[in-house]
Structure 1
Amino acid sequence: MNFGETIKKIRKDKNFTQKELSEGILTRSHLSQIETNNYYPSYDKFFLLLNRLNIVFEEFLFVQNDQKMLFNQHIRSQISEAANMDDTEKLKNLAVTAKDLYEKTENITYYHYMLICKALISYSISHTVNDDMIQFVTPIKDYLFGMDNWYLYELKLFNNIIYALTVDEALLFARTSLRRLANFQYFLEFQHIEQNIYTNLSTLCLEHKNFQAAKDFAEIAIEKAKKYMLVYEKVCSEVNHAIARIKLGENGNAYEVIEKNMLILEYLEFDSLHGHFSEFLKKFEISIEA
């Protein structure tokens, strides 16, 4: 579907007349020419049309692409799903797919996705930050640190590589990224990115045995997960928080919190994820009742 056809389809689907859609934005004749691909509006006019139609640009592209998700968005979604489920085999397949796409298109996005997959696979094997992981994410780190400013894509990339940075690097760029992220607070993705940054910072601090910082970041992560009703993220954050409390000697109900969340994963039949957290607990010499 071409540009003009997409505008026309959305307009008709939403029962707008040409007069209703164009009024105050451009002339009705110009809109008619747009819909027949004989005229292209300026960017400001185009986004005013989208705003009146109550759709976002990504949704417009989705319709224009015959209601198929753009492939780079599709593969990004699959990587996130595989990472959340600790599905190593799927990550291996996605790494091969991303590598092939990068070689065909030279689109750096696919190169970054390939590296993220390989880093996640490396972590799944040892359940600890290792030299291979750091090697895989170094090109992404160089890409990010060479930017004068970050947009949503860069903020997502940073979120994906936090665990492979030093604590000083992560804290330095987390402050910058969270300030920058505030500009995108009205985007749907804002909630996940913000919460994940705090969860990943807590995980990083656990890896480096900075348990007080891990506890502090996990507390914020739990608060954000509750605020945005992010169930999976709440489980991860609560486990991190409980581990930090145990290692700080502030046990309280920490063991019960871990047991509860492990039971949730077991009840939901998230077997691979349950196994991942079991290994994570072993690393910190924490055992709970089966």
Structure 2
Amino acid sequence: MNFGAAIKKIRTDKNFTQKALSDGILTRSHLSQIETNNYFPSYDKFFLILDRLNIVFEEFLFVQNDHKMLFNQQIRSQISEAANLDDTEKLKNLAVTAKNLYEKTDNITYYHYMLICKALISYSTSHTVSDEMIKFVTPIKDYLFSMDNWYLYELRLFNNIIYALTVEEALLFSRTSLKRLSNFQYFLEFQHIEQHIYSNLSTLCLEHKDFQTAKNFAETAIEKAKKYTLVYEKVCSELNHAIACIKLSEDRNSYEIIRKNMLILEYLEFESLYDHFSNFLRKFEINVDF
């Protein structure tokens, strides 16, 4: 669907007349020319039109693309799904797809997706950060270091590679990311990205046996999960916090928290996540009767 046809479809779907949509933005005749692709508005007028139609730019692109997600958004979603399910075969296929697309388009996004897939495959093999995993994320780390400012894409990348950074690198990046992230607090992705940064930092610190810092990050992650009603994320953050507390000899009711949340993961059939925390518990010699 072309640009003008997309504008017209959204307008008519929402029962706007040309006069009601154009009023105060541009003339009705100009809107009519836009809808027939004989005139293209300036950026400011285009976004005023979208605002009056109560849609965001991504939604407009979705309509213009005949209700299909742009492929780079599709592949990002598929990688996330495969990672959550620990589906190594799907990650391998996605890595090949991303590699082929990068070679065809020279779009660095696909190159990053390929590296993330390979890093996730490496991690799923042993559930530990290996030299191979670090090798795959190093180009992404270099890319992030080269940026003067980060946008949502860079913030998502940072979240994807936290596990393969040193604590010092992660803390350095996190200061940049959290400062930059505040600029996007009214975007829908803000809540998830912010909470995941703190949760992933707590996991990284556990990996490096920095239990006090892991506990501090987990406390913030739990607070953010409660604030934004992120149930899945709250479970993970509470497990991180409980593990850190036990290793700091501040167990209180930490064993019960672990038991409760592991049962939740088992009930919800989050097998890869259940295995991840089971490995963590074995690694830190924490025995809990489920």
- Relative to the length of structure 2, the TM-score reads 0.98
User: How far apart, in 2, do the equivalents of 1:86 and 1:182 lie?
Assistant: 31
Q: Aligned-pair RMSD on alpha carbons?
A: 1.0
Report the residue type matching 2:179 in the other structure: R
Task: Describe the SS at the equivalent of 1:209.
Answer: coil
User: How far apart, in 1, do the equivalents of 2:227 and 2:88 lie?
Assistant: 31
Report the residue type matching 1:131 in the other structure: D
Give the 5 Å matches for 1:1-290.
1-290=1-290
Report the residue type matching 2:188 in the other structure: L
Structure 2 unmatched runs, 5+: none
Structure 1 unmatched runs, 5+: none
Task: Describe the SS at the equivalent of 1:160.
Answer: helix
Between 229-238 and 38-47, report the one with greater CA deviation: 229-238
User: How far apart, in 2, do the equivalents of 1:195 and 1:90 lie?
Assistant: 27
CA contact (8 A) 1:219 1:241 kept: yes
CA contact (8 A) 2:115 2:136 kept: yes
Between 144-153 and 82-91, report the one with greater CA deviation: 82-91
Report the residue type matching 1:212 in the other structure: Q
Report the residue type matching 1:143 in the other structure: Y
User: How far apart, in 2, do the equivalents of 1:274 and 1:89 lie?
Assistant: 19
User: How far apart, in 2, do the equivalents of 1:86 and 1:258 lie?
Assistant: 22
User: How far apart, in 1, do the equivalents of 2:286 and 2:83 lie?
Assistant: 23
CA contact (8 A) 2:84 2:272 kept: no
The count of aligned residue pairs is: 290
User: How far apart, in 1, do the equivalents of 2:21 and 2:184 lie?
Assistant: 27
User: How far apart, in 2, do the equivalents of 1:200 and 1:85 lie?
Assistant: 18
CA contact (8 A) 1:116 1:160 kept: yes
Deviation at 1:137, TM superposition (A): 0.4
Between 269-278 and 47-56, report the one with greater CA deviation: 269-278
CA contact (8 A) 1:5 1:35 kept: yes
User: How far apart, in 1, do the equivalents of 2:251 and 2:212 lie?
Assistant: 13
User: How far apart, in 1, do the equivalents of 2:93 and 2:129 lie?
Assistant: 22
Deviation at 1:280, TM superposition (A): 2.4
CA contact (8 A) 1:87 1:272 kept: no
Between 121-130 and 80-89, report the one with greater CA deviation: 80-89
Report the residue type matching 1:287 in the other structure: N
Report the residue type matching 1:59 in the other structure: E
User: How far apart, in 2, do the equivalents of 1:29 and 1:95 lie?
Assistant: 49
Q: Which 4+ runs in 1 deviate beyond 6 A?
A: none
- Relative to the length of structure 1, the TM-score reads 0.98
**Deviation string, structure 1 residues 149-176 (Cα, Å, up to 9, x no partner):** 1111011101111111111111111011
Deviation at 1:105, TM superposition (A): 1.6
